[in-house]
Structure 1
Amino acid sequence: MSESIGFNLLHKDVQRWIWTQNWTALRDIQERAIEPIIKANCDVIISASTAAGKTEAAFLPACSRITEINPDGVGILYISPLKALINDQFRRLRSLSEILCFPVTPWHGDVLRSVKDKQKKRPGGIILITPESLESLLLNQAGWCSKAFSSLSHIIIDEFHAFLGTERGCQLQSLMHRIEFMLGRIVPRVALSATLGDMEQVARFLRPSTKNYPCEIIESSTSHSDLKIQLRGYLNKASENEESTTGFEGIVDDLYKILRGKSHLIFANSRGRTEEIAATLSDFCEKNGVPNEFFPHHGSLSKEIRESLEARLQEDNLPTSAVCTMTLELGIDIGSVDSIAQVTAPHSVASLRQRLGRSGRRGDAAILRLFIPEDEITTKSHLLDRLRVETVQCIAMINLLLKKWCEPAPGNQYHLSTLVQQTLSVIGQYGGVRANQLWSLLCEMGPFCLVDQQIYVGLLKALGEHNLITQMRDGQLVLGVRGEKLVENYNFYTAFNTPEEYRLECEARVIGTVPIDKPLVVGQLIIFAGKRWEVLDINSDKKVIALKRATGGRPPKFGGDGQSVHDIVRQEMRRVYIDKAMPIYLDKTAKETLYEGIDCFHSLGLESTSLLQIGGTVHVLPWCGDQITTTITVLLRRTGLAADCFGGVIDIRNCTIDTFYKSARAILHNEHPTSEELASHVPDTIVDKHDPLIPKELRDLAYGRRYFDVDGAIEWMEGMCQQ
């Protein structure tokens, strides 16, 4: 340690704590983070793999600083996306805080009031808090916050990637800006994450409102441990009636044989599949007379069940595999697991990278096992299945993972729902605020910079019409009767909600429910329960979608459900087909399915064309992300073509290639619609929590920006028509 420049900058009591941990040296990110955090004259972003020491990289210098200056009040505000992560960090920081003689206070809905009251009576040390609890503090105890945070040295945000581009992330931006406005000064921010893409974009997201404040970006120069990958393929056999029998049994059987006896995380993407896999694996254990070691972990389970499983993983006394959704992607300390299993294609490269970081944490190789089913090819198979798109997408994502690329956060969003929440919260915090002051705080100087005065006036008028706010004679805006009730409810503190479930009906018979989180219009085809359906009607009031069975061949197995796929992923998929390379990590079945997909791609001449005529259907392969592909589809539908998109491929029924080109040229020749105009034809643009309070024209503006990319679609069409 004597050779460490950073170590010598730390407070002597922090140095003493490091010695008690028996560390022989600081890690690279810890060494590099000490000086900029201690100086407290810039923001800092620390990006490194899971278990690379990011927590200590932030807290050791930040704690050194507040020990040195002895602030009158809270010195560090730590913000986490998860209550479980706060509990975990509280446990990890306790010994350090005891040596430094200041409190560490967890602050969320499950923390005892007595713990919070102790901090309220004598504010100091570190507060570990969620955005929702911080919202409640600023709204209900603004006076205490002003005094308690008066000497605040740093705001540390953990798992920063979980906030990027989301409603909750926009809320976090606003909360940090409101704290600085309240204090009348800048508070340096430290962001921690294992998965970040464009670092300059991340820096802009960390502080969108102050253009010239410096930001130090610290990325780990230490390479990760070795990576071992295997992709196992499975074939869904087609029966006589052309319905596929699932390869699920083969996947679960292999999960049991390969994983039993050690600890693993099994990511299954959907909650339903998570429960199904966990239940089947548990049944296998019972059938074979061995103790169960497979347990589900997702957001719908009780706190006790989740925490019991997390503790079992952390103790590492018994072999334990958690079958989980994204709940165990983030940095809850569960120790090291032997491998990561991914059932079906991952949602994104960023997600895959985050999940992989949970393995190989003790110097061992990180192990990634993918279990990917494909349908057996028949005469009725869809082009997507013949191209083996799910297998190819997995390979493309692994390639990009190895190149250290991951998706950038979606930017330039209006986030009007969160602006409604923040407007009401600020009015509640101060009792009364003028409209120009609100716009200046939240929009001109705050994170809602896309919202001009005209848009904001329209939003305020709508809030007034809903009796959420009232204007006094002196021009001050105060909460209306309905507004007071809204902000007094604990649900108000949450900026996000899950998409509402729509009931799917065919001839008045309910066939299931789905969340609608992508544009959907009458006449469009959707895939549900392995069948193709045509949308007859969308009742946004009753949340009902009327369907009828659509004619045609079997629908594609891989419809691209889940999060939006990025342009770079689709372009990498095309490169996989063109290069014909056979990755060494594929098993025999996966190699066979990939070979089938590559052979299909080249036999159809897709290396030189993006259009195919098969029977009465034209297939368009733009090799673009979902936003551009969806926009192309909607533009074609506006010309009268029966266009639908699945997994990045656009199907146009009852069409010819000549008809496609005529429609494309007509689109290019005519005045191009705005994304807002495209959104105006979507029956239900209510997506986010407070969208029902927003006028339709403003909602269309935000929805269009979120789901459509007209410029990207037009650029692709121009390229097509020039060929």
Structure 2
Amino acid sequence: MSGPVGGGPAVRGIDDLDPVLVHHIVNTLGWPGLRPLQEEAIAPLLVGEDAVLLAPTAGGKTEAATFPLLSRMTAERWSGTSVLYVCPLKALLNNLLPRLEAYTGWIGRTAALWHGDVKAGARKKILVGRPDILLTTPESLEAMLVSTNVDHRTFLGGLNAIVVDEVHAFAGDDRGWHLLAVLERLQRVVGRPLQRIGLSATVGNPDELLHWLQGSGADNRPARVVAPHLRTPVDEIAPGPPPGDIQLDYVGSVDNAATVIAALHRGEKRLVFCESRRLVEELGEKLRAKSVTTFLSHASLSVDERRRAEEAFAEARDCVIVSTSTLELGIDVGDLDRVIQLDAPATVASFLQRLGRTGRRAGTTRNCLFLALSEDGLLAAAALLLQWSRGWVEPVAAPPEPRHIVAQQILALCLQEHQVGDKLWQEWWSGLGPFGQGAEPIVRHLVDEGYLDQDGGMLFIGPEAERRFGHRHFMDLTAVFTAAPEFTVLSGLTEIGRTDPTLLTEEVQGPRRLLLAGRSWQVTYIDWHRRRCFVELVDGGGKAKWGGLGFVRATSWELTRAARDVLLGTDPEVDLTGRAQGCLTEARERFMEYVHPAGTLIVRRANEDLRWWTWAGHRANATLAATLSDVSDPAQRINDCWVRLRADLTPQRWKEAVADATGRLSLPSVHEQALRGLKFSAALPPRLAEKTLAARLADLEGATAALQESVRFTRLPA
């Protein structure tokens, strides 16, 4: 599939780029030369190979991709819109546009932006002008394909290459399946293979990521991973900087976190990551109360509010911006001094992205301060840092069995083409995995339920699809995630953001107040029909809340096992403060009877239930509970660390149950609430919808490993 890193065509360098580009690289940018990634990307990209370009954050990946493509654009006389630059976030596209406008302008070419926030007038100019590089999202790309206002065959007919920025962010969830399916449809519209280039920070399985990105062309197109940093000596590719640059502290509360942030690193520009929007709001309000110049960024703030915060933060010095993962990717927030993390992100890969926001100036190093708000948060952070210090990063894997995306794509294709042959629809995806022959039952269901009509050997949009997805010209059909309903919050005519509707319905004593954009607002009027509430600024007392769709943050086998290692006495190779050491010591004493280095424990404490301490992670434990249904408690709530067993279980019955389970693992049961969060699940036969989600809730490998470990029964006093 991909050759060895660094293999392939003859070595080329900066002199093989377009001479006008080279002139500007040297004289306009003032670069003495290209970085290793940029040098090594030239050869494969100039000859049209597919590639994944790997480098740490701020490693010059955008230039590594665009400089060779712009050189080909000139040499091969590409015309019209010939390159798509796809990103997972609109804010990232906004941030990239000035750079790409400058680079294209050097050679007399153009770049433009197309996403949901771009006004209709600007879109009309783009359709007429056909910029050479179009920056967009997969959802906006599909909207173009299905829109009656866009002649997509003419507008996109000149495409030659696709750049997918932050490709790992797509590959790990359903947006990745959606992206691949849209690219296959686009390739058929264009009538030729499109060069695919993915840009990514460090991942654990780059070859598999490249194979995934190539889609149907994975076995017959040349491709390579370009990652010069992976060939340096082992002692130079540790996943982070020297241990002193990473510190883990225990503060115990949001109040204490605000006190520490306000007191430390004064005069510096600090980016604080939180794992929820509510926590962003609470910390932001407390920092402002301590006279810290503070800005906020999360998905429920209005576009203008986020943009104002990010622009102000980029220009300021002694300040803090508090964010969810919205600023984890490569959005430029200026010359950043320090990253602070409350508790722990969900993955090592996420931590590496956040760590990479620092250390960009000469003479500075990458750094991150972890502030744990609880013992659980401290243990999660220590486990993540232990895995990081071991050099481990999660492999990126596409979610299994995306049948709901198949249903969505078939509907979108019929909307795009108006009608599709009932025997020819598979050709649009060129045999790509789940979109091939295996999708026949889904097509039959869509016809049977009225989502599709069938006549004269053709398929076209039916009345049920019109009813469910036809609002706003089928715009809801292009988004692959279900969003929880929210109310828009307005101060006069200015949109502040969106809030959970339960904050507007729950009983309160006195005036109803919201916390949004780090400020308290008193609700003055609620427009229930249009889902809007009007507010005015007040001094305090606001409350922040956002609901979800029933999903639980599921910690992996590797991170849960790392937590067990921490409890057994292994410290991560980072700077632990005295408070962190003290809290870890207390945690180790408390969990002493629930961890064992040689296997797992089934523990019965007097007057308590019987628990199997697997330390296997959420998905493995869900799989084990379903597989051992005869001896596990059917009413339990699954967690990362243990499975509740029936109170009358004996060691002999346990052995029999494990023997019966060997080689016949069961998928976890699926709750109706979770199914509602799987968008387009209603367009699937109920059995297939449940099977799809169950496969995603399972960890068969982890469950098997846990079953094979030795188990000890222990009884503890009350």
TM range (shorter): 0.7 to 0.9
The residue type equivalent to 1:627 in the other structure is R
| Aligned position for 1:495 | 480
- For residue 123 of structure 2, give the secondary structure of its aligned residue in structure 1: helix
Counterpart contact for 1:427–1:433, Cα < 8 Å: yes
Q: Return the alpha-carbon distance in structure 2 between the equivalents of residues 393 and 225 of structure 1.
A: 20
Aligned equivalent of 2:267? 261
Distance 2:646 2:617 in 1: 25
Instruction: Tell whether 2:35 aligns with 1:27.
Output: yes
1:488-637 alignment to 2 at 5 Å?
Answer: 488-498=473-483, 563-581=553-571, 583=573, 585-602=575-592, 606-611=596-601, 612-615=603-606, 616-637=608-629
Which of 442, 446, 462 pairs up with 1:463? 446
Question: 1:97, CA displacement in angstroms?
Answer: 1.6
**Quick check: 1:601–1:607 contact (8 Å CA) kept in 2?**
no
Equivalent position amino acid for 2:56 in 1: S
| Structure 1 residue 86: Cα displacement | 1.3
Q: Deviations over 1:569-622 (max 9, x none)?
A: 223333334454475511111101212233445566623442122223233222
Residue 662 (structure 1) aligned to one of 638, 653, 659: 653
Q: Is the 8 A contact 2:84 2:161 kept in 1?
A: yes
Q: 1:362 to 1:402 in 2, by over 3 A?
A: farther
Q: CA–CA distance in 2 between the matches of 1:185 and 1:361? A: 40
Change (3 A) 1:684 1:565: closer
The equivalent residue for 1:538 is: none
SS in structure 2 of the partner of residue 448 of structure 1: helix
Going from structure 1 to structure 2, the CA distance change for 1:225 and 1:610 (only over 3 Å counts) comes to closer
- Following the alignment from structure 2 to structure 1, what is the Cα–Cα distance between the partners of residues 660 and 629? 16
Provide the C-alpha distance between the structure 2 equivalents of 1:603 and 1:481, rounded to a whole number of angstroms.
60
Q: CA deviation at 1:67?
A: 1.4
**Structure 1 CA distance for aligned equivalents of residues 572 and 124 of structure 2:** 62
Equivalences for residues 386-397 of structure 1 within 5 A = 389-397=376-384
After TM superposition, give the deviation of residue 70 of structure 1 in Å. Answer: 1.4
1:143–1:609 Cα change, 3 Å = closer
Question: Are 1:123 and 2:113 an aligned pair?
Answer: no
Cα distance in 2 between the residues matched to 1:408 and 1:183 = 32
Residue identity over aligned pairs, in percent, reads 26
Q: 2:256 aligns with which of 213, 229, 250?
A: 250
TM-score by length of 1: 0.81
Query: Would you say the 8 A contact 1:106–1:128 is kept in 2?
Result: yes
What is the CA-CA distance between 1:345 and the residue it aligns to? 2.2
Partner of 1:157: 164
Is the 8 Å Cα contact of residues 280 and 322 (structure 2) preserved in structure 1?
Answer: yes
1:399-418 aligned within 5 A: 399-411=386-398, 413-418=400-405
Tell me the equivalent position of 1:144.
151
Question: Match for 1:483: what amino acid?
Answer: A
**Which residue in 2 is equivalent to 1:326?**
325
Distance 1:641 1:663, change over 3 A: farther
* SS of the residue 1:22 aligns to: coil
1:205 and 2:212 are equivalent in the alignment: yes
Among candidates 8, 15, 18, match of residue 11 of structure 1: 18
Q: What's the secondary structure of 1:366's corresponding residue?
A: coil
Residue of 435, 448, 460 corresponding to 1:478? 460
Separation in 1, partners of 2:213, 2:112:
24
Contact preservation (8 Å) 2:408, 2:477: yes
Distance in 2 of aligned mates of 1:38 and 1:336 = 33
SS at match of 1:51: coil
**Which residue identity is paired with 1:37?**
L
Which position in structure 2 is the counterpart of 1:367? 367
Q: Which moved more, 1:577-586 or 1:60-69?
A: 577-586
| 1:53-202 pair list within 5 angstroms | 53-140=60-147, 144-202=151-209
Rounded Cα–Cα distance in structure 2 between residues aligned with 1:77 and 1:684? 35
Deviations 1:645-674 (A, max 9, x none): 565222526626x53662462254269766
- The letter for the 1-side match of 2:20 is D
Cα gap change, 1:84 to 1:581, in 2 (>3 Å)? closer
CA distance in 1, matches of 2:265, 2:440: 58
Task: Supply the distance in 2 between the matched residues of 1:604 and 1:153 (Cα, whole angstroms).
Answer: 58
Distance 1:45 1:589 in 2: 42
1:391: how far off?
2.4
Q: Is the Cα contact below 8 Å between 1:295 and 1:309 reproduced in 2?
A: yes
- Give the Cα separation in 2 of the matches to 1:360 and 1:680: 44
Output the CA distance in 2 between the equivalents of 1:273 and 1:158.
Answer: 28
Corresponding residue for residue 535 of structure 1: none
Is 1:445 the counterpart of 2:431 in the alignment? yes
Structure 1: distance between partners of 2:77 and 2:652: 71
CA distance in 2, matches of 1:161, 1:646: 28
The residue number in structure 2 matching 1:218 is 226
Instruction: Supply the distance in 1 between the matched residues of 2:21 and 2:328 (Cα, whole angstroms).
Output: 30
Counterparts of 1:702 and 1:594, CA distance in 2: 39
Mark the runs of 5 or more structure 2 residues left unpaired by the alignment.
1-10, 487-499, 509-549, 714-718
Distance 2:212 2:627 in 1: 32
Equivalent-residue separation in structure 2 for 1:412 and 1:345 (angstroms) = 23
Instruction: Identify if the C-alpha distance between structure 1 residues 651 and 435 changes in structure 2 by more than 3 Å, giving closer, same or farther.
Output: same
For 1:531, the equivalent position in structure 2 comes to none
Q: Structure 1 regions of 5+ residues with no counterpart?
A: 236-246, 286-291, 375-387, 512-559
Higher mean Cα deviation, 9-18 or 106-115?
106-115
SS in 2 for 1:613: strand
RMSD: 3.1
Letter in 2 for 1:249: D
Change (3 A) 1:169 1:249: same
